[in-house]
Structure 1
Amino acid sequence: MQPVKNNHGRINLDPDKAEAGLAQLVLTVVELLRQIVERHAIRRVEGGTLTDEQIENLGVALMNLEDKMEELRNVFGLEAEDLNIDLGPLGNLL
């Protein structure tokens, strides 16, 4: 399955490729949320507010989420850069 980006890096909503376009959009939103959670976790670790066990559990959870994202990208034939949607004058999303 080919990525459904057009020449400008925007999502192509071609009705014949709707499933792939929807998968790309959903995975982009999930990746954005994953990055936000990861940044927040790093701030908490650096702030010293977590126990060693909490840090370990957080690290395992983030690694598992990253592995799942890679698995889902593979299922839909997407590369990590395919999730970095071009928002026009605002720049890239990720």
Structure 2
Amino acid sequence: MENNLKRNGRIELSAENAEQGLAQLVLTVIELLRQLIEKHAIRRVDSGNLTDAQIEDLGVALMKLENKMEELKSVFNFTNEDLNIDLGPLGKVL
């Protein structure tokens, strides 16, 4: 990643890198939500209460979400590790 963010996973905001820092924070939150949605969808599929069409729709929606995240990470030149922000004593987000 070629920007002024620290490699330890912490966001360092300054006038020069505020856009990248904000993008990192927003994409981290979106990725966290995407992963939670995916886990919830898997639980719904495993419950056996969904039709084949609903399972197919879930799969397509999850693939689209993942593809969009990959596109956004590419636009901002982020890796998965860049989105795994360090919360200090709480550990990493993802």
Q: TM-score, normalised by structure 2?
A: 0.94
Aligned to 1:73: 73
Aligned to 2:85: 85
Deviation of 1:8 after TM superposition, in Å, equals: 2.9
Aligned to 2:26: 26
Aligned to 1:42: 42
* Contact 1:11/1:85 (<8 A) preserved: yes
* Structure 1, unpaired ranges of 5+: none
Deviation of 1:4 after TM superposition, in Å, equals: 4.3
Summarize the Cα distance change of 1:48–1:87 in structure 2 as closer, same or farther, 3 Å threshold.
same
Residues 11-59 of structure 1: per-residue CA shift (max 9 Å, x gap): 1112111111111100000000000000000000000111100000000
**What number of residue pairs does the alignment pair up?**
94
Deviation of 1:5 after TM superposition, in Å, equals: 3.0
Aligned to 2:9: 9
Provide the secondary structure at the position in 1 that maps to 2:17: helix
In 2, distance between residues paired with 1:89 and 1:3? 25
* Structure 2, unpaired ranges of 5+: none
* Contact 1:10/1:86 (<8 A) preserved: yes
